[in-house]
Structure 1
């Protein structure tokens, strides 16, 4: 006997592309297969790398005989303090209008930000870069179903550079007061193209004039350039310019700001799911009411965040030797990514691949936005067993001295054919 159910009408949904790619790669038995899809750091052997600073912190913590009690709902206070110091710098982090909570990595921070904005800010639109990290769309689709998701131009395929005029024109012409704009703090995913400091200042002027609410997604601080302070420049500029001085005219201040901070890439703590959300209110507005609503949302979703990864980050950032070791670790990661950029560009040029490949070196961070079409990406997978996202995003840490020439020849093949 069968029983009708409304659940029978639900269609089967495909697995998220990056996870489906990894699954397909793992099932592939071809000996020269290459995984350029997953956004995780790999060492020169293309193996998972535990940062030496993290390994030292783990060994220290395991000697302390610590308990596994629940954290408070907002998270571990010592960790949150160091997260604030890292993203804002110690001086700005002391400001009263910054209130922070621990989250389930950067994804959890973005989801909490979307929930908070949808419920309490009630924007008409959220502006998302075109292209962007695919989860931005899904997060806002599920957390803010009544909010229109609009794309602002970001990538110019003709120049393989930032479409700055299109970006600013869209915000100028279409954004309304209290609308949300999502900005990538550094190492834009997937393009690897960031605004210059001059361009950031212009973006900030528009955001303030239109009284928009800014959500910074900061997933790569330190990992992008090897310098955590340099990678936090845009966030600190926005705060110092608009939120740090109560004497500013209210007409020149954005509606507010949230920073979504991840420790997955820069600490290699992918599976520990460690992140933070920082809420910034205008200097004349108390953040405490909004903060309590953030805490309430956390209680309803996860009760309280995870413990061990937060202890690792706190241990590293408060120990001078471990912090110094961590800085060297992020420099190591940034340097290796830059070196494979140079190697891939050189290989493509040496074998006479059609096109100008300089953009590979100009981009920054984990990814290269190759400009390859879906047809070309499909051929790379089917013929050459090289896996990357359909939009042409290549995760560079999957390259090393043993496979870069093979990948370059494969790219030449698909470019020559299409």
Structure 2
């Protein structure tokens, strides 16, 4: 756990070029995806390694999201096609139903016309019969009884009576036929009106089904649009992640390169001669006591004050109190001072460690007896540089103070 927590989180790089690239990356991700990516700019080699793992995990998650969204897209498209076919069928059924309604309306209209014609014809029949009776048996206004009484004999009476009965039956028969025809037409009209009401009801149901299908289709289209947007966002994020992976890889290489260059620099004879002349003289015991006065101060990534330190911020702050200016990050401090073999360490020297991979990613102040005071994940504390954790990670020391 300590290795992970100390993967160089204690180092901030105030390299302008890197900061600009980080800001551009974060702003781009906010604009394109609506929220920043979960990782931040790694400030040390070990942090770069951790960031790399996070980036690769995000790439995998993004690929899975894209695959899932594409699968959903296929399903939603099939559902949309289904509802579109359903709408087509409904429109066809509604069109057929409308034709039936129009035909039924025409039949009802025709029946109404037939009923009106039959009623008119019935009145004509009745008027015609009455006219015939008046012409044949009445001279003016002669009643049926007068027609019978005027008979000259019994045979004439029977003849007149038979004629009246025949005319009466004929009148009743015509009335009965016309009335029956009217009743049949009324029944047919009622049946057609009932069928028409059923057709109207069916049309209403079709219209409701159509509206429901249109609503569902709209919802599916919205879902499809959202899925396509998710795929596009995931694709954009994937591109950003790939770009940041490349950037992180280059940063890791740069940190390793800076460490190697620092090692080469401090071994140069001209550098050693120049540095030996310029090493400041400080009361080492006072410096160590001052450093140890911050015991328990919490670790803060990028911290450079007593409210919270990271490892290189702590060493810079302590040395600055005694007028000794050293650079900000552990990689930069590794390129200062004189290289000192481990068996020649003296109090006040800076000791460096690679907590995850090649590179000076952690620094502390040596206080003697294989001990150092440093800011790490538990805050400012004293650690043994030869223990099972720090020992294998030790990469060198630098003398910053003159004798």
TM over 0.5: no
Larger of the two Rg values belongs to structure: 2
Question: What TM-score range do you get, normalising by the shorter chain?
Answer: under 0.3
Question: Which structure has the highest helix share of the two?
Answer: 2
TM-score normalised according to structure 1 size: 0.20
Q: Which has the higher strand share?
A: 1
TM-score by length of 2: 0.20
